[in-house]
Structure 1
Amino acid sequence: MCATHKAFFSYVWRKFLNMYRFSVISSFLALSCFLSLASYELPDHSNGEPTTDYSINEYWLSLFSGFSKDVDVFYVYPTSWYKLDPAEPDFCAIDHPTMLSRSKVVFDIQATAFETVGNLYAPYYRQADAAYTLSLPADKRWAVVDSIPAKDVIAAFDYYIKHYNKGKPYILVGHSQGAQVLMLLLKNYMPEHTGTYARMVCAYVIGYPVTAEFMSSNKHLKFAESAEDTGVIVSYNTQSPSVAPGANIVLGDEIGLVINPINWKRDETPATAEESLGSYMPIDAQGNPALIPHFADARINMAKGVIECSSVNETDMFNLSGKMGPEVYHSFDIPFYYYNLRENAQVRVNRFLAK
């Protein structure tokens, strides 16, 4: 970008951040209030709790209508609600107004990357508070997400398969808490529904680490090795090269498997911003997003298990992301590589349909 464009973008982005206070990151403001919870026994969050009734249209963020494509996309949004008061429940209601409004904003900058590829379906689901969840050790994090959030999303997916999918191939997309929920769906639902699993083109499980241990304990799952393989998991987490090991609160000490979302390699071969098809970022003070070409580069750091992006201006762009650790680009895992993800989804669909 030219200097004028960069200056304007910096101004617009600051205005956007003040207006939006992006969903996942905002919750980390309260993180210190909950750190002591990690040593306590977890309450049984899901005992006797019924799942959401997904026959009710109002419990869907997106129900496709219109000219049907050959493929569906099932999208699970990231954390879009957080506790303002420690006395609040650890999970939001299915109709919580904050979650309803913020999930729509996130949908517009994430799920729409796949709207040219397939018919978009996205359920609302009851979310766990991110600050509470991330204050816990990894095993207890999983227990929290595997209660109400995963129950809802798996129920929604099962309803979608039985009532909307009509035997079509489909893509899974999830970010952050949505990615973790999809990992549980892949782990627990797919082995019992092999016919459904066979129709999965790809699962974009972005913004939460998919570890080698997770893959080895779930032998039915495969991680992507190229731009064209199907029935696989695509995953990565984005940060600056300056982030120290363990400083990314989303990852903690976990080392995720990674594929580069620009060149689709599994090694440390760098992909320049010039190779990128473009990012989908806000271009005005209202936060309306549009294509920004050649914005984000990508290079795998194998030791950290992350994508490192060095082409963006850390100071201008990530005052907000400092709340979860300096130069952690978690909120932009999808927007940075929006158009490469769109192209890749189409490549994988074409390969799947050609079988």
Structure 2
Amino acid sequence: MKRKKIALAVAILSLSMLLTACGNKKDVTDYSKTENWMNLPTTTDKEVDVFYLYPTTYSPADQTNPSISTIDDAGMVQNAKIAYGRQATAFETVGNIYAPYYRQDNLSPVDREETIAGIPTTDATAAFDYYIKHYNNGRPFILVGHSQGADVMSNLLSGYLKDHPDVYKRMVVAYVIGFTVTNDYLTANPHLKFAEGPDDTGVIVSYNTEAETVLPPGNPVVTEGALVINPINWKRDETLATAAENLGSIALNRDGSAVLNAEGKIEPVMNFADAQINLAKGVLICSTANVDLLSPGSATFGKGVYHTFDYPFYYFNLRENAENRTNKYFEINGTK
């Protein structure tokens, strides 16, 4: 999957003009309707918000179905809720979570980046714009996305947040995980910067998790020049972070949902996943998981790609990091 972010600048600019103009907003989902949101907080008791975009959850029964889902596709909705449970919930102790439904691409083999820069990004940008204008009330926010959601999030960062620097300055951190962020992308978007450690704010966090060996067809979400940060030790070099240093992974059921205890809560699985950056590959290596059990391979991802586990392996590390960066943000900018 060839990354074409620079070539998408015109499309993103056109999208921004579409959403900021007073003209026709045809084919943009209406986010004033609560049914177009997977999660809206009933109370806003936290000083920070979280805006979450789920990974690819649209999988039509056959190829006669459209490559782009409807906003209420039953399969997409059900699977989006499952993804929310293993990803977005990591941040429920940190912020008020806002999670829109958005129309998705069904892994189009041709011009995928252009496709995602279309309807999926249009929806997500409209949702974020509505959130900022009607729900946010000036609070700092954290962006969280995975896979297609992270791809769309990268367009949101390079489009809407570039055009709205007053909004961008309230961004605590953007977790753009399960997708590639490169220096070329940052060069094309000099308002953005990649995380260098556990404490910096207004930055992007990104990584893609793999086993030590990956078989064909490989990992389609990793492209040349991928930037990585280790979610256990928050270093950019190849220093190993052992499984003992991990604050806690989570277990998944067969359907991808998070395993809950008798009280309906997610418990940490300790000493499970280590993490070490491979700079040459631009990926995060986990050497301690059972690859035959957790990543046997598929037509899309080769054996050894831990794409589904990008968040579950490091769930409690991401929670602690979001809390830490939030505290740092308030230390720098003061409380509300």
**5+ residue gaps in structure 2?**
1-14, 19-24, 261-266
Contact kept? 2:295, 2:304, Cα under 8 Å: yes
Whether 1:144 aligns to 2:121 is: no
Counterparts of 2:40 and 2:279, CA distance in 1: 38
Percent identity reads: 51
Question: What are the residue-to-residue correspondences of 1:169-184 with 2, within 5 Å?
Answer: 169-184=140-155
Give, in angstroms, the shift of residue 270 of structure 1.
Answer: 0.7
For the structure 1 residues 323 and 183, does the alpha-carbon distance in structure 2 shift closer, same or farther, using more than 3 Å as the test?
closer
Give, in angstroms, the shift of residue 283 of structure 1.
Answer: 6.6
Alignment partner, residue 156 of structure 2: 185
Give, in angstroms, the shift of residue 67 of structure 1.
Answer: 4.9
Question: What are the residue-to-residue correspondences of 1:76-225 with 2, within 5 Å?
Answer: 76-130=53-107, 132=108, 135-136=109-110, 140-225=111-196
Alignment partner, residue 279 of structure 2: 302
Alignment partner, residue 266 of structure 1: 236
Contact kept? 2:215, 2:304, Cα under 8 Å: no
Contact kept? 1:75, 1:174, Cα under 8 Å: yes
Alignment partner, residue 38 of structure 1: none
Counterparts of 1:196 and 1:249, CA distance in 2: 32
Contact kept? 1:321, 1:328, Cα under 8 Å: no
Matched to 1:118, the amino acid is: G
Give, in angstroms, the shift of residue 224 of structure 1.
Answer: 0.2
Counterparts of 1:124 and 1:172, CA distance in 2: 15
SS at match of 2:268: strand
Whether 1:230 aligns to 2:201 is: yes
Give, in angstroms, the shift of residue 249 of structure 1.
Answer: 2.1
Give, in angstroms, the shift of residue 280 of structure 1.
Answer: 1.3
Counterparts of 1:66 and 1:330, CA distance in 2: 33
Counterparts of 2:153 and 2:276, CA distance in 1: 25
**5+ residue gaps in structure 1?**
1-45
Counterparts of 2:75 and 2:140, CA distance in 1: 33
Counterparts of 2:184 and 2:308, CA distance in 1: 25
Give, in angstroms, the shift of residue 142 of structure 1.
Answer: 1.7
For the structure 1 residues 302 and 164, does the alpha-carbon distance in structure 2 shift closer, same or farther, using more than 3 Å as the test?
same
Give, in angstroms, the shift of residue 86 of structure 1.
Answer: 1.5
Question: What are the residue-to-residue correspondences of 1:273-352 with 2, within 5 Å?
Answer: 273-282=243-252, 288-289=259-260, 290-319=267-296, 324-352=301-329
Matched to 2:304, the amino acid is: E
For the structure 1 residues 126 and 284, does the alpha-carbon distance in structure 2 shift closer, same or farther, using more than 3 Å as the test?
closer
Contact kept? 1:321, 1:329, Cα under 8 Å: no
Deviations 1:96-128 (A, max 9, x none): 000111100110000000000000000000000
Q: Normalising by structure 2, what TM-score?
A: 0.86
Give, in angstroms, the shift of residue 323 of structure 1.
Answer: 5.3
Contact kept? 1:321, 1:327, Cα under 8 Å: no
For the structure 1 residues 215 and 100, does the alpha-carbon distance in structure 2 shift closer, same or farther, using more than 3 Å as the test?
same
Whether 1:69 aligns to 2:46 is: yes
Contact kept? 2:217, 2:301, Cα under 8 Å: no
Q: Normalising by structure 1, what TM-score?
A: 0.82
Number of corresponding residues: 304
Counterparts of 2:313 and 2:65, CA distance in 1: 34
Give, in angstroms, the shift of residue 321 of structure 1.
Answer: 5.5
